[in-house]
């Protein structure tokens, strides 16, 4: 019986394996539009979420922190936040 079960599992594995999935190929980003084609509901829930907002290109309009020279001290180190033109900077 175990031999039959093993043969069935091997056969199913061979049928279900996709030819495009190879462990020796490095993973690469294919773009959100490719994923959205199959995952429309997830894409709609993601739009406007804090995760989506965090992925925006950093600019004066999208970096929303307090960069009016606040200072944070912890464990003897001081960090300051500031802006220079459109750039937001953190200095430690």
Q: Is the model's pLDDT at 48 over the cut of 60?
A: yes
Answer for the pair 89, 83: CB distance below 8 angstroms, yes or no.
Answer: yes
In 8-86, DSSP assigns E strands to 71-74, 77-84
Residue 70 pLDDT level (bands cut at 50, 70, 90): confident
Residues in the chain: 92
| Secondary structure class of 57 (helix, strand, coil) | coil
Whole-number pLDDT of residue 41: 94
Whole-number pLDDT of residue 12: 57
* pTM to 2 decimal places: 0.40
Which of 54, 32, 31 lies closest to 44, judged by CA?
A: 32
Average pLDDT, the chain: 79
Q: Is the model's pLDDT at 11 over the cut of 80?
A: no
Identify the H or E element spanning 8: helix 2-16
Mean per-residue pLDDT for 37-59?
Answer: 89
Listing from the earlier edge strand, what are the strands of the sheet with 77-84?
71-74, 77-84, 87-91
Give the whole-angstrom CA distance, residue 54 versus residue 28: 21
């Amino acid at each position: 019986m175990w031999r039959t079960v093993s043969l069935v599992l091997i056969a199913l594995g061979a049928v279900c394996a996709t030819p495009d999935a190879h462990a020796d190929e490095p993973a690469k980003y294919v773009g959100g539009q490719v994923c959205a084609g199959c995952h429309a509901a997830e894409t709609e829930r993601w739009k406007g979420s804090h995760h989506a907002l965090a992925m925006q290109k950093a600019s004066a309009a999208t970096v929303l922190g307090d960069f009016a020279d606040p200072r944070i001290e912890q464990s003897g180190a001081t960090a300051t936040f500031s802006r220079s033109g459109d750039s937001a900077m953190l200095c430690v």
